[in-house]
Structure 1
Amino acid sequence: MGKEVIERIKELKKERNAVILAHNYQIGEVQDVADFVGDSFGLSRKAAETDADVIVFCGVKFMAESAKILSPEKTVLLPEKEAGCPLASMVDVDGLKEMKKKYPGATVVTYVNSTAAVKAESDICCTSSNALKVVESVPGNQVLFVPDKNLGQYVARRTSKEVIIWDGYCTTHHRVDPEEVKEVKAAHPDAPIVVHPECPPEVVELADHVDSTAGILKYCRESEADTIIVGTEQGLIHRLNKENPDKKFFVLSPKLICPNMKKTNLDKVLKSLEKMETRVEIPENIRTRAYNALKKMLEVK
C-alpha cells in the first residue's frame, strides 16, 4: 500500500505541477516524499522560488499561510486542516492591538510562528535564527516581542534594548525541564547538547549550543562529536540521521514531540493532491500587510 500511495503522489505532482514541502518536524515518511525539507520560513521562500502552480505544505497552518503570503498566485494546500500551532494561537489581533496601545512607541517584532492576521499588525517579522539581528536593526529602543516568551528572553539577554515580551510559548519546547538536561549531561558527559531557543531559559543556559532548526542541522554536520543530544522536536532526528550516518543523535527529552506536526501522513498528502484541499486563502488586505512585515525582515542584513 505504501509504495502505491507514493507512486500515485508522484503522478499527481506531475499532473498538478505541484511541489511538496515538509517541515523538519514531520514524520519520516512525509519528509522522504517531499521535494524540499526545511524550517518554516525557509520552505516558504523555497515555495516562492519554484515554478510550481501548487504547493502542498506538510506542516502547520501558519507555515502554509506564510507560503501563501509570499506566493499569492499559487494554490497552497494544507493536507491536515486541523494542524494548528498552540504558540501561534496564544496571540490574537485584538490582544496585540491592546498591547500596542500600552506601548505606542514600541516596534512590534513578531516571530514567524504566528498567524497572517497577527503578522499584518506587526512592524517586522523574525525567525529563531535572526531574531536578535532583527531586534537590533529596528529604530528606537523599545521592542514588543510577540508571541514566544522564551525566544524573547533569549533575545532580551543579548541586547541593550528594552524588550517587552508577550506571554506565549511553544507547548512542545516549553515542556523540557532543566533537571532532564542535567541527567542527560551526567549520562553522556562527552556529548554536546544543542537546543532550540524556544526552550525555557533555564534549559538554554545549560546547553552547549543554541540555534534554530537550520542552525542545529549545521552545528551537527560540522561538529566533531560522534554523539549529540538534540533539544528540539524529535522529527529533526530523522533528517539528522540521513545526513550524518556516522553520528548518533538522541532527543534531549521524550516530551519533545508536537502532536500537530504528526497529524500529516502519506494518505493525507495523497488526498490533498486528489481533491486539491484544504486550500489556504488570505484576504488581500491582510496578506499585503503581512507581506510587508516579512519583506522588512528579509531586508535585514
Structure 2
Amino acid sequence: MDLHQKITELKKQKNAVILAHYYQVPEIQEVADYVGDSLGLSQKAAETDAEIIVFAGVHFMAETAKILNPNKKVLLPDLMAGCSLADSCPPDVFQKLVEAHPDHVVITYVNCSAEVKALSDIICTSSNAEKIVNSVPKDVPIIFAPDKNLGKYIQKKTGRKMLLWDGACIVHEVFSIDKLLKLYKEHPGSKIIAHPESESHILETANYIGSTAGMIDYVKKHPSEKFIVATEAGILHKMQQEVPQAVLIPAPAEEDNTCACSECAFMKMNTLQKLYNCLLNENPQIEVSEEIRKKAFLPIERMLELSK
C-alpha cells in the first residue's frame, strides 16, 4: 500500500480524524478528513467524536484542539512546526501589557500560544474578527493582539480605536507591492484577493479581503475570472479544486524563490511520511497544562458561541 492508503487504514483502526489547514502540502490535504481555515478547524476540533486528532498544521492550531479536547490524543506531525506570528507575542511580555490596562477587553487572534489565549477575554480568527470586535460595547476599550495588520484592517472596518500589539506574520509581510503591480499590468482585468494579515499597501490594491475560506468562497462566486492571490500559496490547491476553470496566480514575494510566491516554512515542515509516522506511533502528542487549558478554553468557547 502507498502512504495514502496506509494512513486511511490507520485512521479506521484508531478512530482518528485528520484536520488540515489550507496551507498544507497537497498530498496532506488529499488524505485529510477536513481542510479549512482556523475558524473551521476550531469548530471541527470542538465537535469531533474521534479518539485521536491528527492536526496537520502548526503548533498553536494543535494546542487549540487540545484545549477543546483534553481527554483526546492530539498529534502534530512535526513538533517544530511553529508560527512567526505566535512567536512575536511572548506571554510574559503580553501579560505586562494586559495588567497595565485592566479596563480593556483583550481580543487575541487565534494565531497565538495557549498561554496568550489564557490571558485573553475572547479569541478571534480572520473570518470573525470584525464580528468579535463589534460584539464589544463601543465604550469599552480593546487590546487587539498579536497581528497589527489584521488589527489595522479591523479598525478601519469597524471604526474602533484599539491598542494593537506589534506582531506580524512573516509570510504575509513578504509580498512585493512593486512586483504585484507589475504582475497586474501583465494580467489586466484580474482580481486581486488578499488575506487581512497582509500589509496595508497590499490590501489597498485588493478587490476582496478575507480569510482563506472567504477567499475560496469569493473565487467560487466569480468562477470564470483570473485572480492574483495574496496569501500563502498552499491555498491554491484547494481553490483550484473548488473552481477548476479559474485562473489563479500567486502574488509575488520580495525574495526571488522557486515558486515566485509566499510559502510558510513551518506549514511545509509537515509531510505525508511524518503524518503517517505520528499516527502509527501516536507521537508527538500535544500537551497543555490543565491550569492554562481551563483559562484558554473560556475565550475560545466565547468565540465559538459568537460564530454560530
TM-score under structure 2 normalisation? 0.94
Other-structure match for 1:220: 219
Other-structure match for 1:261: 267
CA distance in structure 1 between the aligned counterparts of 2:2 and 2:134, rounded to whole angstroms: 51
**Deviation at 1:11?**
1.6
Whether contact under 8 Å (1:96, 1:118) holds in the other structure is yes
**Which deviates more from structure 2 when the two are superposed, residues 166-175 or residues 92-101?**
92-101
Q: Does 1:130 align with 2:136?
A: no
Aligned partner (choices 283, 288, 299) of residue 294 of structure 2: 288
Other-structure match for 1:231: 230
The residue type equivalent to 1:219 in the other structure is Y
Where in structure 2 are the equivalents of 1:111-260 lying within 5 Å? 111-139=109-137, 140-253=139-252, 254-260=260-266
**Which deviates more from structure 2 when the two are superposed, residues 175-184 or residues 213-222?**
175-184
The residue type equivalent to 1:288 in the other structure is K
Where in structure 2 are the equivalents of 1:18-37 lying within 5 Å? 18-37=16-35
Q: How many residues were matched structurally?
A: 299
CA distance in structure 1 between the aligned counterparts of 2:293 and 2:74, rounded to whole angstroms: 14
Whether contact under 8 Å (1:172, 1:255) holds in the other structure is no
Give the alignment's Cα RMSD to 1 decimal: 1.3
Other-structure match for 1:276: 282
CA distance in structure 2 between the aligned counterparts of 1:236 and 1:138, rounded to whole angstroms: 32
Structure 1 unmatched ranges of 5 or more: none
Measured at CA, do residues 100 and 47 of structure 1 come closer, stay the same or move farther in structure 2, by a change above 3 Å? Answer: closer
Other-structure match for 1:52: 50
Other-structure match for 1:5: 3
Query: Any idea what the Cα deviations from partners look like across 1:100-148, whole Å, max 9, x if unmatched?
Result: 2332221111000011110000011111011121112113331111000
CA distance in structure 2 between the aligned counterparts of 1:83 and 1:294, rounded to whole angstroms: 22
Other-structure match for 2:36: 38
CA distance in structure 2 between the aligned counterparts of 1:294 and 1:194, rounded to whole angstroms: 28
**Deviation at 1:96?**
1.1
TM-score under structure 1 normalisation? 0.96
Aligned partner (choices 70, 76, 79) of residue 78 of structure 1: 76
The residue type equivalent to 1:21 in the other structure is L
Displacement over 6 Å in runs of 4+: none
Measured at CA, do residues 41 and 159 of structure 1 come closer, stay the same or move farther in structure 2, by a change above 3 Å? Answer: closer
CA distance in structure 1 between the aligned counterparts of 2:223 and 2:248, rounded to whole angstroms: 13
Percent of aligned positions with the same letter in both sequences? 44
**Which deviates more from structure 2 when the two are superposed, residues 96-105 or residues 129-138?**
96-105
**Deviation at 1:85?**
0.3
Query: Any idea what the Cα deviations from partners look like across 1:170-215, whole Å, max 9, x if unmatched?
Result: 1000111222221122111111010000000111011111000010
Give SS of 1:175's match. coil
CA distance in structure 1 between the aligned counterparts of 2:122 and 2:42, rounded to whole angstroms: 17
The residue type equivalent to 1:124 in the other structure is I
**Which deviates more from structure 2 when the two are superposed, residues 24-33 or residues 41-50?**
41-50
CA distance in structure 1 between the aligned counterparts of 2:303 and 2:21, rounded to whole angstroms: 21
**Deviation at 1:225?**
4.0
Give SS of 2:45's match. helix
**Which deviates more from structure 2 when the two are superposed, residues 106-115 or residues 38-47?**
38-47
Other-structure match for 2:256: none
CA distance in structure 2 between the aligned counterparts of 1:66 and 1:101, rounded to whole angstroms: 24
CA distance in structure 1 between the aligned counterparts of 2:46 and 2:125, rounded to whole angstroms: 17
**Deviation at 1:156?**
1.3
